Structure 1
């Protein structure tokens, strides 16, 4: 019984920056969050949506999709690949125009900070 409660809490109380690889914005405030092994759809208010979109953890890769900068493994051939262990890689597509800018931002974050 405790296991079921823990799973339920994971789906209801996920942390965007830590748990979500990317999300897609749909009609009427419906947002689809994509994690390692799950997809969660939630309806958000316009204020919640604006806060989510303006978050520095996420980058807009096309008209309705935002990726988590901390979860990116590589950017290649119009795709953004995410950290997934095993043989399967999760990815989402990115427009060529935004691919160059995302690579710049992502590489700046990857550089070790000088002390």
Structure 2
């Protein structure tokens, strides 16, 4: 008997809002996506990069890095920390001005959810 398994390949078929904690935009359309235990680099067109950077579910934390608002677990000492089930945490740096704006945004999001 042949059984077809529907296994999703995270490296090729990731869901941006669900699987990615943050991404960085590099030169010539190279985008680096950071998930729980992997990093994926993809070359994208300028239209695709514009679509990513304009996504309201991601917040620009510094010049080339966008964080998934839903995956943020905390902000402290110039770093944005992301939810992790294991003992290790992933984080990225954030500027002071954007740190203040992100905290306000997270507070508003929390209030709207209640």
SS of the residue corresponding to residue 84 of structure 2 reads coil
Q: TM-score of the superposition, structure 1-length normalised?
A: 0.89
C-alpha distance in structure 2 between counterparts of 1:84 and 1:11, whole Å: 19
Unaligned runs of 5+ in 2: none
**When you count helix as a share of all residues, which structure comes out higher?**
1
Aligned partner of 2:104 in structure 1 is 104
Q: What is the RMSD computed on CA atoms of the aligned residues?
A: 1.7
Aligned partner of 2:56 in structure 1 is 56
Q: TM-score of the superposition, structure 2-length normalised?
A: 0.90
Give the deviation of 1:112 after TM superposition: 5.0
Aligned partner of 2:87 in structure 1 is 87
Give the deviation of 1:38 after TM superposition: 0.4
Which runs of structure 2 are paired with 1:1-115 in the superposition (5 Å)? 6=7, 9-113=9-113
SS of the residue corresponding to residue 84 of structure 1 reads coil
Unaligned runs of 5+ in 1: none
Number of aligned residues: 111
